[in-house]
């Protein structure tokens, strides 16, 4: 009965509204009909699970033939529709291609365009084989051909491309796992398997190694003209050269370019469009370089050459590496010389070249260096030679470590003891230690560098050596880091009337400091006669605002003291040192003292006080 009630309720809901209004209505059914209705009303035992995707693109096969301006493809796409009911839209081709036709089961396929893609729309379930014909434009640059367009992501992607001609070709297919080439019917054929990356990019060029064949005699010979731009950099122990050879190629194309260098010059690199390989040989007492292109260059073409020559240890006269352009009707050259160290450079007596103002040099030479171009030359004939007189001078030692500021805080206790925290905001490029003279009787409690606890060492002369970190580069400059030291000192206790004197000095460092800010806390109620204040620092009511990274001195002090985040990594860091940071018990009221530009001098302050309760 409990199963019959839902069925009767379903039947009552299915009846027209006016049928439900019949009073005391009854329905009489044969048992077989009732049983059939009942079984149909039962819920299925195994409810089918919906597919995780509405469709899959299991395979894409592309078969194409390349032409001069475009490649035409026949594509086969296997689409499996998994959605049980309803319509699905499947992206099949990008809008960059020109669609010629699309068929599904021998009929025109229902495609529509939206959002840059062609979509197949269908309500059929199961596997569908879509056949598509389309064309994609190809490019050509410096003997390289190719095309690129996106594809829908498929589980398997295979491409075959035929290129007319029997010349050996080098194919590149971006991301391909396997690329095979062969010859078929006078075409070069490439086959490749692609991962499901959704993009097809194919390029091909004439292979450098071609089968031997008798080349027909050319009726017209190529004529070459060249303009040579060279930048020579004079650095420590080496001359570096960077040459741009700009060719004008008339009447016919060429696939080989040639130049020469002195035997003692090292050739580093040869670059240019379509450069396949370059070979070195010794011809006429010079190093001849033959550059093979993988196409015939015509019109304008540029070859970039990098090379270097060693300098004598003690300077003297040296020749500029004279790159000579070969097999040209006429050559015009410009040479710029810049100094990349503290070497003094003067021009010697040149041959087949004349000195010009550096402002006359081509902008392409001046624009490729940040160093000052000191000398300029030009020539119109091959066989030029430019000697340079190079003098090496002793270097002047420059500052490699600086204290941007010293921020010190001293607390004077009622019984006369002193506790001081000193923070040096430093930039260090090379120094291993910060060497300081501690005040006599001072006992160090803790030392931190860049937020990491370190163990200072003691030198033979009694100085304390704190190991330093090396500054990290920030925006082309060295970043500051904090060196922090806390120490305590004994002092004379106030007399019975609460009067006494304060006299202290800060540690003297072996590095100059731009600014010093010393805050001294005296016990509450203490009175300090103004005339009793003396020392090498002047008392101020507020610190002078200085240019220290765009912040004032007190603000910079707080910033430096928060620099516990920088990583400190040095062999001088003692293993097992625990990072115990000592905090000053600030009490009383502060007195402010400052000094700008501190060199090798004492930093001391003294004053009398009275009214200190014990």
Q: Assign 350 to helix, strand or coil.
A: coil
Q: Assign 34 to helix, strand or coil.
A: helix
pLDDT, residue 25, reads 67
- Alpha-carbon gap, residue 442 to 506, rounded angstroms: 10
Residues (pLDDT < 50) of the chain are 1-14, 17, 19, 550-577
- Alpha-carbon gap, residue 580 to 448, rounded angstroms: 9
What are the tens digits of pLDDT across the range 111-143?
Answer: 999 888 899 999 988 899 999 999 998 888 777
Q: Do residues 240 and 232 make contact, with C-beta atoms less than 8 angstroms apart? A: yes
Q: Which residues contact 561 (CB under 8 A, 6 or more apart)?
A: 407, 423, 482, 484
Query: What radius of gyration do the chain's Cα atoms show?
Result: 43
Q: Which residues contact 107 (CB under 8 A, 6 or more apart)?
A: none
For 363-384, b/e burial (b = at least 16 CB within 10 A) is: eebeeeeeeebbbbbbbeeeeb
pLDDT, residue 2, reads 43
Compute how many other C-beta atoms are within 10 angstroms of the C-beta atom of residue 192.
23
pLDDT, residue 69, reads 83
For 317-355, b/e burial (b = at least 16 CB within 10 A) is: ebbbbbbbbbebeebebbbbbbbbeebebebeebeebee
- Alpha-carbon gap, residue 160 to 182, rounded angstroms: 11
Which two structure tokens, joined as six digits, stand for 383?
């066989």
- Alpha-carbon gap, residue 217 to 395, rounded angstroms: 63
Q: Do residues 203 and 172 make contact, with C-beta atoms less than 8 angstroms apart? A: yes
Which two structure tokens, joined as six digits, stand for 441?
């009787």
Find tokens 């087949």 and name the residue.
352
Domains, the chain, in order of start with CATH, read 55-205 (2.60.40.1730), 223-392 (2.60.40), 401-609 (2.60.40.1730)
Scanning 280-390, the segments in alpha helix (DSSP H) are 363-366
- Alpha-carbon gap, residue 55 to 121, rounded angstroms: 11
Please report, for residues 3, 7, 42, 43, 463, the alpha-carbon distance to residue 46 in angstroms, rounded to integers and kept in the order given. 19, 20, 12, 9, 87
Q: Which residues contact 577 (CB under 8 A, 6 or more apart)?
A: 453, 454, 455
Q: Do residues 181 and 163 make contact, with C-beta atoms less than 8 angstroms apart? A: no
- Alpha-carbon gap, residue 144 to 259, rounded angstroms: 24
Burial of 251 (0-12, 13-18, 19+ CB in 10 A): exposed
Which two structure tokens, joined as six digits, stand for 84?
């049980």
Q: Do residues 413 and 419 make contact, with C-beta atoms less than 8 angstroms apart? A: yes
pLDDT, residue 494, reads 87
Q: Which residues contact 315 (CB under 8 A, 6 or more apart)?
A: 343, 390, 391, 392
Q: Do residues 128 and 81 make contact, with C-beta atoms less than 8 angstroms apart? A: yes
Q: Do residues 489 and 417 make contact, with C-beta atoms less than 8 angstroms apart? A: yes
- Alpha-carbon gap, residue 481 to 471, rounded angstroms: 7
Q: Do residues 434 and 482 make contact, with C-beta atoms less than 8 angstroms apart? A: no
pLDDT, residue 178, reads 75
């Amino acid at each position: 009965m409990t199963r019959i009630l839902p069925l009767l309720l379903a039947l009552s809901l299915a009846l027209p509204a006016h049928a439900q209004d019949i009073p005391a209505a009854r329905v009489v059914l044969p048992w077989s009909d009732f049983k059939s209705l009942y079984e149909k009303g039962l819920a299925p035992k195994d409810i089918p699970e919906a597919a995780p995707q509405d469709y899959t693109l299991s395979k894409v096969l592309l078969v194409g033939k390349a032409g001069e301006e475009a490649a035409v493809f026949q594509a086969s796409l296997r689409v499996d529709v998994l959605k049980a009911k309803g319509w699905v839209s499947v992206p099949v081709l990008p809008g960059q291609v020109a669609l010629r036709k699309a068929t599904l089961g021998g009929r025109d396929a229902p495609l529509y365009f939206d959002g840059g893609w062609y979509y197949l729309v269908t309500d059929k379930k199961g596997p569908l084989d879509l056949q598509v014909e389309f064309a994609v434009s190809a490019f050509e640059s410096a003997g390289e051909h190719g095309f690129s367009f996106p594809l829908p992501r498929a589980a398997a992607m295979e491409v075959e491309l035929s290129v007319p001609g029997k010349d050996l070709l080098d194919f590149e297919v971006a991301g391909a796992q396997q690329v095979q080439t062969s010859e078929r019917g006078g075409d070069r054929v490439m086959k490749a398997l692609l991962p499901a990356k959704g993009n097809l990019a194919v390029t091909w060029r004439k292979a450098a190694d071609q089968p031997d064949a008798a080349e027909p005699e050319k009726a017209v010979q190529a004529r070459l003209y060249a303009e040579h731009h060279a930048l020579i950099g004079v650095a420590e122990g080496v001359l570096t050269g960077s040459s741009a050879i700009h060719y004008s190629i008339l009447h016919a194309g060429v696939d080989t370019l040639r130049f020469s260098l002195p035997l003692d010059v090292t050739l580093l690199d040869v670059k240019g469009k379509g450069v396949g390989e370059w070979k070195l040989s010794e011809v006429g007492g010079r190093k001849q370089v033959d550059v093979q292109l993988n196409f015939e260059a015509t019109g304008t073409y540029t070859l970039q050459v990098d090379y270097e020559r060693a300098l004598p240890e003690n300077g003297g006269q040296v020749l500029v590496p004279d790159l000579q352009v070969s097999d040209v009707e006429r050559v015009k050259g410009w040479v710029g010389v810049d100094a990349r160290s503290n070497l003094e450079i003067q021009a010697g007596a040149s041959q087949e070249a004349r000195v010009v103002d550096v402002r006359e040099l081509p902008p392409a030479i001046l624009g490729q260096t940040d160093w000052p171009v000191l000398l300029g030359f030009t020539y119109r004939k091959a066989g030029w030679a430019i000697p340079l007189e190079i003098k090496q001078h002793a270097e002047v030692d420059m500052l490699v470590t600086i204290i941007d500021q010293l921020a010190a805080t001293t607390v004077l206790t009622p019984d006369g003891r002193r506790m001081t925290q000193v923070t040096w905001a430093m930039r260090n490029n090379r120094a291993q230690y910060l060497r300081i003279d501690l005040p006599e009787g001072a006992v160090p409690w803790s030392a931190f560098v860049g937020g990491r606890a370190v163990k200072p060492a003691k030198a033979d002369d009694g100085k304390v050596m704190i190991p330093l970190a090396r500054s990290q580069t920030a925006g082309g400059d060295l970043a500051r880091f904090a060196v922090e030291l806390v120490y305590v000192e004994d002092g004379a206790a106030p007399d019975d009337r609460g009067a006494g004197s304060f006299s202290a000095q800060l540690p003297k460092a072996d590095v100059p400091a731009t600014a010093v800010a010393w805050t001294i806390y005296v016990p509450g109620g203490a009175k300090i006669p103004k005339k009793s204040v003396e020392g090498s620092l002047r008392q101020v009511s507020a610190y002078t605002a200085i240019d220290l990274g765009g912040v004032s001195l007190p603000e910079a002090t707080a910033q430096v003291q928060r620099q516990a985040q920088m990583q400190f990594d040095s062999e001088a860091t003692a293993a097992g040192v625990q990072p115990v940071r000592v905090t000053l018990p600030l009490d009383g009221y502060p007195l402010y003292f400052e000094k700008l530009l501190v060199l090798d001098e004492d930093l001391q302050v003294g004053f009398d006080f009275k009214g200190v309760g014990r």
